Structure 1
């Protein structure tokens, strides 16, 4: 049964870094942000920030369809998308099951100071995974993020990719 790794974390928590590392180990990486960037350009530069969610919505549906098809084909997937709300995590887990996959939520916790440090450098870039995040916006992100609850089965990732790969190998066997 293919794995469907669902990354949950705030902007700057390391989702893309982890997703790229898993892709280097054979996972198919699906990125909502990169697809929005490919279609619409840079957030807040090529289109107004307040229109992001209307641009993102059809991309998420397209990614969801590909996600299911990749799982049905037997491919391990890593979804590079924030999954801030529990309802989103639940819906993607259900999509993974529909595709015949084994969903695994990987939570990447990071405190405000660490995120601000990471975002300071990232805010200077212009690629698909860079968007300017102010401290005020980050506070808003924290307010809208549902930290995984005790009854959610998640892997909390704070270490090495090798450690995560070992945990994923155990998930595959369960």
Structure 2
């Protein structure tokens, strides 16, 4: 049964770094942010921040279809997307199961100060994953983020990819 690694974390928590590491191990990496960037450019630069969710919706559906197709074909997949709410996590898990995949929720916690330091550096870049995030926007992100509840059985990623992969593949 192919794995669907579904990442949970606020902007800057390390999702893309982990997703790229899994891609180097043979996982198909799917990124909603990169699909939005491909279609619309940079968040807060090429379009106003307040229009992101409207631009994101069709990208989410495209990535959802790609995830299902990859799992149906027997490929392991990592979803590079924040899954900030329990409802989103439940929906993506159901998509993975319907496509014959085994969903694994992976949580990348990070505190505000750590995220601010990472985002200050990242705000200087211009790639698809370099969202320009102000401290005020980060506070808004935290207000909207729902950490996974115990009954969701999310695995907290500790930075040890080899151990995590062995655990997830059991």
Asked whether the two chains share a fold, i.e. TM above 0.5, the reply is: yes
In structure 1, the residue matched to 2:145 is 145
In structure 2, the residue matched to 1:120 is 120
In structure 2, the residue matched to 1:157 is 157
C-alpha displacement of 1:168: 1.8
C-alpha displacement of 1:134: 1.2
Q: Which runs of 5+ in 1 are unaligned?
A: none
Q: Which runs of 5+ in 2 are unaligned?
A: none
TM-score in terms of structure 2 length? 0.97
In structure 2, the residue matched to 1:69 is 69
What is the root-mean-square deviation in Å for CA atoms of aligned residues? Answer: 0.8
State the alpha-carbon separation in 1 of the partners of residues 52 and 114 from structure 2.
25
TM-score in terms of structure 1 length? 0.95
Q: Does 1:13 align with 2:13?
A: yes
State the alpha-carbon separation in 2 of the partners of residues 133 and 164 from structure 1.
30
In structure 2, the residue matched to 1:26 is 26
C-alpha displacement of 1:153: 1.1
Count of equivalent residues: 170
Give the 4+ runs in structure 1 shifted more than 6 A. Answer: none
State the alpha-carbon separation in 2 of the partners of residues 44 and 137 from structure 1.
11
State the alpha-carbon separation in 2 of the partners of residues 47 and 120 from structure 1.
20
C-alpha displacement of 1:137: 1.0
Determine helix, strand or coil for the equivalent of 1:6.
strand
State the alpha-carbon separation in 2 of the partners of residues 141 and 25 from structure 1.
30
